[in-house]
Amino acid sequence: MSGRRKKSRKPRKRRSPGTKVTRLFQRPVQHQEAEPVIRLTHVSVHYNNGTPALEDISFTLQRGERVAVVGPNGAGKSTLFKVIAGILSPTSGRVDVYGHAPHGHICIAYVPQRSQVDWSFPVTVADVVMMGRVGKLGLLRWPRRRDWEIVRESLRLVGMEELASRQIGELSGGQQQRVFIARALAQEAEILLMDEPFAGLDMPSQEVFFRVLDRLREREVTVLISTHDLNQAAGRFDRLILLNRRLIAMGRAKEVLTQEHLLAAYGGRVTMLDTDDGTVMVSDTCCSRGMDHA
Ligand code: ADP
């Protein structure tokens, strides 16, 4: 008789057909490369209290586009970001990201409005950026040297390497936005959704921000940003989506920002003034909550 004992193997549990499998984290979804990056088909969202936030929205976005979402307060901009990020399900219609429902895509980086983030949470800049790696790591694996290198490189790209060990609450508004972009880079995100990232940022901070966005363009990241600044939307983005619950217009600034469309979107909240330089829109809505620096 040989001294070696055969290892007894535990019999594998057989799952009965139809058993629900709960995973700790979802497997990345395979992209259908021939499909648009984002496609919305007749999407409507009604909140539980009955508020209709989006009605029958359809559009597609292509890889590497930089698109601004504009419209008055309450137009459904945040709701739009949430359905694309897969945080909210549409009441009707469908959202596809590279040909699949948005849930489980680790290629989407969603940055909510700054006011919705708890900045007192005791984490460092590097920790926040490392959170972008969770989808690649899985929840139970520790970051390896390569992951920390990616975090460092992402921070370098947004000019924040020196602040890696700072608490996030100690950063300026512009720096906080750049940390989120670094997190998207570390995540190797292909879609970046940012809800009002310019709110409260001064002009120099906005310039720094756009330089960082140019880096994302080099990587063909598709960027969707909501903003209240129509001038900025017209000058710095490839296309615009003008929203007021319904999609009023989508396309290049010249096609979208017409008097007819603006009145349809902003209604009584704007006055159109005819001047020697053309038509000027004066809005009575204001969005800035004090200025922040880069
Ligand atoms: P925007 O970002 O353009 O200001 P939102 O998407 O935040 O617009 O809101 C669109 C509409 O949906 C508004 O009328 C808002 O009051 C309503 N709304 C937003 N979030 C909720 C919610 N969680 N529950 C109920 N109604 C909501």
pLDDT tens sequence across 68-118: 999 999 999 999 999 999 999 999 999 999 888 777 666 888 888 877 888
Which range of 136-140, 144-148, 173-177, 233-237 scores highest in mean pLDDT? It is: 233-237
Query: In the prediction, which pLDDT does 103 show?
Result: 75
Q: The whole model's pTM is what? A: 0.81
DSSP character string of the chain: --SPPPPPPPPPPPPPTTPPPPPSSPPPPPP-TTS-SEEEEEEEEE-TTS-EEEEEEEEEE-TT-EEEEE--TTSSHHHHHHHHHTSS--SEEEEEETTB-STT-TTEEEE--GGGS-TTS--BHHHHHHHTTHHHH-TTS---HHHHHHHHHHHHHTT-GGGTTSBGGGS-HHHHHHHHHHHHHHTT-SEEEEESTTTTB-HHHHHHHHHHHHHHHHTT-EEEEE-S-HHHHHHH-SEEEEEESEEEEEESHHHHS-HHHHHHHHGGGEEEEEETTEEEEEE------S-B--
User: Which among 226, 218, 265, 198 is positioned nearest to 85, based on CA atoms?
Assistant: 226
Which atom of ligand 1 is least distant from the CA of 196? 2
Residue 252 has pLDDT above 90, yes or no: yes
In the chain, what are the domain boundaries? 38-283
Beta strands at 108-111 and 222-226: parallel, antiparallel or unpaired: unpaired
Ligand 1 centre and the CA of 8: distance in Å?
Answer: 59
Ligand 1 centre and the CA of 53: distance in Å?
Answer: 6
Query: In the prediction, which pLDDT does 200 show?
Result: 80
CATH assignment of 38-283?
3.40.50.300
Query: In the prediction, which pLDDT does 275 show?
Result: 58
Ligand 1 centre and the CA of 80: distance in Å?
Answer: 10
Ligand 1 pocket, residue 174 CB under 6 Å: no
Question: Tokens representing 5?
Answer: 């004992």
Residue whose CA is at the smallest distance from ligand 1 atom 24: 47
Q: pLDDT per residue over 22-60, tens digit each? A: 333 444 566 777 788 899 999 999 998 888 999 999 999
Ligand 1 pocket, residue 47 CB under 6 Å: yes
Ligand 1 centre and the CA of 140: distance in Å?
Answer: 36
Q: pLDDT per residue over 137-168, tens digit each? A: 666 677 788 889 999 999 998 889 999 999 99
What is the Cα–Cα distance from 89 to 83, expressed in whole angstroms? 6
Question: Mean pLDDT score of the chain, rounded to an integer?
Answer: 82
Q: Describe the strand order of the beta sheet including 52-61 as a list of residue ranges.
A: 52-61, 38-46, 92-97
Residue 13 has pLDDT above 70, yes or no: no
Burial readout 259-288 (b: 16 or more C-beta within 10 A, e: otherwise): eebbbebbeeebeeeeeeeeeeeeeeeeee
Q: Which of 79, 87, 287 to mutate to test the pocket of ligand 1 (most atoms within 8 A of CB)?
A: 79
Ligand 1 pocket, residue 150 CB under 6 Å: no
Ligand 1 centre and the CA of 143: distance in Å?
Answer: 37
